[in-house]
């Protein structure tokens, strides 16, 4: 008689496969092999179905206004380990905890300083992450050994439905293989993580397209660790004092993630001044606000800086699918989301 097994999470499949192979005398190798074997990744539009995987210790990709995240229960170390494995993420890169209601902050943070309170009042829910001192019960695995935790409350309804159905804070990095451009569509998540994660909550393409603004509120003067849609100018409306992290020196231990290779397509990325002529035509990709002026393999001319930001990572991925060798990105003015956009382009260019 055939045994019917209901697989609940990636690990259930790994363990079951290992047991079957072990029974048939294929010795210890199966455990290692089974960990690498693929699992069916469920794609669903239903927040409650996706949340059920989190409750069972699984990992789920879900949409936010910035990029898709890959989530697990913040208090479940085994589940958090699966995030690092699926993404091939270095273990010294901390995760952001996503919440659906403000009261969850107190399950994660030991204290909420005045500056943080102001940011929360003004920008939650929204594309901002606030770094606070963590409580003991938040595992160091989630924070990469730091005594602080990044907290964020996404705004879109589907994200909020998912997070409230989870009934626990969900740690989630972007749902890409580490070093690849962050996913802005569920299909991009599938491209990187199909067979590695339990579920994808299928939503629309993300509205902003660049990761959240990260502000460290653990010291007297708040520090901007990562630029995002909430710009330095906008933060300045709420905070009297804020400084930008100097990642090359004193601030590098504050945000270890920034030192890792990021946002990079396989193609080389080149930054071009606004309105500059492209001299050679051919196997180039071009993205910017102006026409490329010369024939290229693929181009995306955006009508606004917002559209440019929302399109950048998917354009990088499309260029890789077409095997484009060089992507030319037109520079924009570094104000508003333009500063975050230029930051991501520079990082992608530097990664080559
Ligand atoms: O928009 C976003 O923030 C997306 C969505 C899914 O929420 N998430 C995201 O996560 O971009 P990730 O893991 O790709 O980037 C998180 C970065 C880390 O690399 C680090 O630079 C910073 O946020 N970070 C997280 N926790 C931190 C902490 N405790 N202290 C300092 N920086 C932290
Ligand atoms: Mg990321």
CB of 119 closer than 6 angstroms to any ligand 1 atom: no
Mean pLDDT, residues 110-125 taken together:
98
Q: How confident is the model at residue 27 (pLDDT cuts 50, 70, 90)?
A: very low
Please tell me which residue, 350 or 280, carries the higher pLDDT value: 350
CB of 222 closer than 6 angstroms to any ligand 1 atom: no
Q: Residue 163 class from Cβ within 10 Å (0-12 exposed, 13-18 middle, 19+ buried)?
A: buried
Pair 133, 109: CB distance under 8 Å: yes
Q: Which atom of ligand 1 is nearest to the CA of 226?
A: 21
Ligand nearest to the CA of 182: 2
Please tell me which residue, 255 or 245, carries the higher pLDDT value: 245
Distant-in-sequence, close-in-space partners of 89: CB < 8 Å, separation ≥ 6: 83, 173, 178
pLDDT (tens digit per residue) in 52-73: 999 999 999 999 999 999 999 9
Written as six digits, the tokens of 98 are 């996503």
Ligand nearest to the CA of 211: 1
Which residue puts its alpha carbon closest to atom 7 of ligand 1?
A: 69
Helix count (H) and strand count (E) of the chain?
11, 15
Mean pLDDT, residues 243-260 taken together:
63
pLDDT (tens digit per residue) in 208-226: 999 999 999 999 999 999 9
Mean pLDDT, residues 99-122 taken together:
98
Written as six digits, the tokens of 249 are 């020196």
How many angstroms separate the CA atoms of 48 and 164, rounded?
9
Ligand nearest to the CA of 172: 1
How many angstroms separate the CA atoms of 4 and 81, rounded?
28
Query: How confident is the model at residue 3, as a pLDDT?
Result: 36
Please tell me which residue, 332 or 281, carries the higher pLDDT value: 332
pLDDT (tens digit per residue) in 140-156: 999 999 999 999 999 99
CB of 326 closer than 6 angstroms to any ligand 1 atom: no
Q: How confident is the model at residue 351 (pLDDT cuts 50, 70, 90)?
A: low
Query: How confident is the model at residue 257, as a pLDDT?
Result: 56
Dihedral sign computed on CA atoms, order 167, 6, 177, 259: positive
Please tell me which residue, 21 or 307, carries the higher pLDDT value: 307
How many angstroms separate the CA atoms of 321 and 315, rounded?
10
DSSP, collapsed to helix, strand or coil, labels residue 336 as coil
Mean pLDDT, residues 236-241 taken together:
94
Say if residue 167's pLDDT is above 90: yes
pLDDT (tens digit per residue) in 329-348: 999 999 999 999 999 999 99
Query: How confident is the model at residue 21, as a pLDDT?
Result: 44
Q: Which atom of ligand 1 is nearest to the CA of 210?
A: 1
Instruction: Report CA(182)–ligand 2 centroid distance (Å).
Output: 6
Instruction: Report CA(73)–ligand 1 centroid distance (Å).
Output: 16
Q: Which atom of ligand 1 is nearest to the CA of 175?
A: 6
Instruction: Among 214, 229, 253, 340, name the best residue to mutate to test ligand 1's pocket (greatest count of ligand atoms within 8 A of Cβ).
Output: 214
What is the overall mean pLDDT for the chain? 88
Written as six digits, the tokens of 164 are 């409230």
Ligand nearest to the CA of 129: 1
DSSP, collapsed to helix, strand or coil, labels residue 272 as strand
Residue whose structure tokens are 């990021």: 262
How many angstroms separate the CA atoms of 170 and 60, rounded?
10
Letter string b/e over residues 308-345, b meaning 16 or more CB atoms within 10 A of that residue's CB: bbbbbbbbbbbbbeeebebbbbbbbeeebbbbbbbbbb
CB of 100 closer than 6 angstroms to any ligand 1 atom: no
Say if residue 20's pLDDT is above 70: no
Instruction: Report CA(257)–ligand 1 centroid distance (Å).
Output: 7
């Amino acid at each position: 008689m055939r045994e019917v097994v209901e697989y609940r999470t990636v690990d259930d499949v790994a363990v079951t496969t290992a047991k079957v192979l072990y029974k048939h005398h294929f010795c210890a190798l199966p455990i290692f092999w089974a960990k690498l074997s693929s699992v069916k990744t469920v794609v669903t539009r239903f927040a409650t179905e996706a949340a059920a995987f989190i409750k069972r210790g699984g990992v789920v990709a879900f949409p936010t206004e910035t990029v898709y995240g890959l989530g697990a229960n913040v208090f479940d170390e085994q589940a958090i380990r699966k995030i690092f494995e699926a993404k091939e993420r270095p273990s010294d890169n901390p995760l952001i905890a996503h919440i659906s209601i403000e009261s969850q902050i107190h399950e994660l943070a030991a204290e909420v300083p005045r500056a943080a309170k102001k940011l929360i009042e003004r920008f939650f829910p929204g594309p901002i992450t606030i770094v606070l001192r963590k409580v003991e019960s938040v595992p160091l695995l989630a924070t990469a050994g730091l005594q602080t935790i990044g907290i964020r409350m996404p705004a879109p309804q589907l994200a909020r439905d998912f997070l409230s159905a989870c009934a626990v804070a969900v740690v989630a990095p972007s749902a890409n293989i580490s070093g690849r451009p962050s996913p802005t569509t569920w299909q991009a998540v599938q491209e990187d993580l199909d067979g590695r994660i339990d579920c994808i909550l299928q939503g629309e393409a993300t509205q902003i397209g660049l990761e959240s603004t990260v502000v460290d509120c653990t010291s007297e003067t708040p520090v901007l660790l990562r630029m995002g849609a909430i710009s330095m100018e906008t933060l300045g409306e709420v905070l009297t004092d804020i400084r930008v992290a100097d990642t090359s020196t004193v601030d590098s231990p504050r945000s270890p993630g920034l030192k890792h290779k990021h946002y990079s397509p396989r193609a080389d990325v080149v930054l071009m001044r606004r309105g500059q002529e492209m001299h050679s035509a051919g196997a180039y990709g071009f993205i910017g606000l102006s026409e490329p002026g010369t024939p290229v393999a693929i181009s995306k001319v955006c009508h606004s800086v917002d559209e440019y930001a929302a399109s950048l990572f998917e354009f990088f991925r499309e260029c890789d699918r077409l095997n484009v060798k060089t992507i030319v990105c037109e520079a924009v003015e570094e104000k508003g989301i333009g500063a975050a956009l230029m930051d991501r382009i520079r990082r992608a260019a530097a990664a080559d």
